[in-house]
Amino acid sequence: MLLTQLPNSILTSVFRREMRLMGIIFEISVVADDEKWANERIDEAFAEIDRIEELLTDANPQSAANRINQFAGIGPVKVDQEVYNLIDRSRKIAELTHGSFDITYGPANVDYRDIILQPEQTSVFLKEKGMKINLAAISTGYIADRVKYFLQMQGVASGVVNVAGNLLTWGSQPDHQPWTVSAAAPNQCFGPIANLNISNMAVITAGNNGYFNTKNGMAVSNIKSVSILSPSAELAAAMGVPVMAMGVRLGLNLINRLNQIACVIINHRKKIYTSKNLSYR
């Protein structure tokens, strides 16, 4: 999905910059009248991404995730409340998806249920030796949400966070029109392009690049891509692969039971399916 572009005369009040962090491209766009002020806010936003990366990345030996992994099967590890809450939410999403989303890996027969959380101590314990967690599937969405919140607290009323083509928007464009993306119309393989309103929304797409259903070990082959829309980029980032693993019918049933989330599924024949609460115009 492509963010609809504005005329150049209006784009002068959208200030954007990109940077490679965590091995992917982050682009931050700020709607403002003052270029210097906008660039200062963007600098601060990238500093916030750096801070979170140090907490979560595998590349930092002292990151919370690495310390938890090092003590798997040995004992609980006390972590910052921020990290604890993210792992707690990851576990709840795993429960919601019956394990199709799971931050654990390692020995056979381990899963999210082997993560022991102790809220009083804000500690995390992995029950099995050799067991590990990886927060990559949810961390980019979490970072996008944090950047949006951070910029809003700094007075940025409108903007876009673009994480490797996945978008989180708030406010409106400089002409006061909503942020939109171009998308194929429902149930048409090569039909007209429609504009999808994504103001105050995240839209995150998972492509089928050899994913396997974690429950039965079979390759997921009948879905080409899943796009999730939600006010929460974190939730959207976490739900794409589970919906793909579940298949069209079960995936749509799950999304249709939840509040403030929608999806677009394209199968291997390029047929498009949408959840019941998704509207095009």
pLDDT digits (tens, 9 = 90+) for 91-116: 999 999 999 999 999 987 889 999 99
For residue 9, the model assigns a pLDDT of 45
pLDDT at 117: 98
Q: Which domains does the chain have, with CATH numbers?
A: 2-50+138-274 (3.10.520.10), 64-133 (1.10.3980.10)
Task: Check pLDDT > 60 for residue 276.
Answer: yes
- The pLDDT of residue 90: 98
Chain centroid, CA 59 distance in Å: 20
| Distance from the first to the final alpha carbon of the chain | 15
Helix (H, G, I), strand (E, B) or coil at 272: strand
pLDDT band at 213 (very low <50, low <70, confident <90, very high): low
For residue 215, pLDDT over 70 is answered with no
- 132-186 pLDDT tens trace: 999 999 999 999 999 999 999 999 999 999 999 999 999 999 999 999 887 654 4
Question: Averaged over 207-216, what is the pLDDT?
Answer: 61
Helix (H, G, I), strand (E, B) or coil at 45: helix
Measured between alpha carbons, how far is 160 from 105 in angstroms, rounded to an integer? 33
Is the distance from CB of 57 to CB of 67 less than 8 angstroms? no
Query: Among candidates 79, 85, 180, 183, which has minimal Cα distance to 138?
Result: 85
Query: How many Å separate Cα 231 from the centre of its chain?
Result: 11
